[in-house]
Amino acid sequence: MLQQLLEVTIFGEGLETVYYVVNGILIALMALVAVAAIILVLLQPANSQGIDALGGSSETFYGKNKGRSIESKLKLWTIICVAVLAVLSVIFFILQIPGIWA
């Protein structure tokens, strides 16, 4: 009796394998995107000037724009990584709903 209950699965054998492969791929992708987002956030400069504002540091116009363009690219890629992570998380959650693979 227990043997028969263990053999009966919600999914067919092929769908069960696909389910586990898709879950594994999604988890791996989420881990990679999360690490990329963490690295991008750590590479961004701090927004506050802190003690530098007291010294009156002078910077050329070209230097300011160069920093802003790099900073804006880092922010853009951070937003893209977080959006991809959110989409992958929603897809992963939807796949966990019981009966969706039946």
Residues 31/77/79/46 CA torsion (nearest 10 deg): 100
Decide if 86 contacts 26 (C-beta within 8 A).
no
pLDDT tens across 79-100, in order?
A: 999 999 999 999 999 988 887 7
3-class DSSP string for 4-44? HHHHCCCCCHHHHHHHHHHHHHHHHHHHHHHHHHHHHHHHC
Instruction: Kindly report the average pLDDT of the chain as a whole number.
Output: 78
Q: Provide the whole-model pTM.
A: 0.67
Angle at 92 between CA 98 and CA 17, to 5 degrees: 65
Band of residue 13 on the pLDDT scale cut at 50, 70, 90: low
Residue 33: CB atoms within 10 Å? 20
Q: Looking at this protein, which amino acid is placed at residue 32?
A: L
Give, to the nearest 10 degrees, the angle between helix 61-95 and helix 13-43. 160
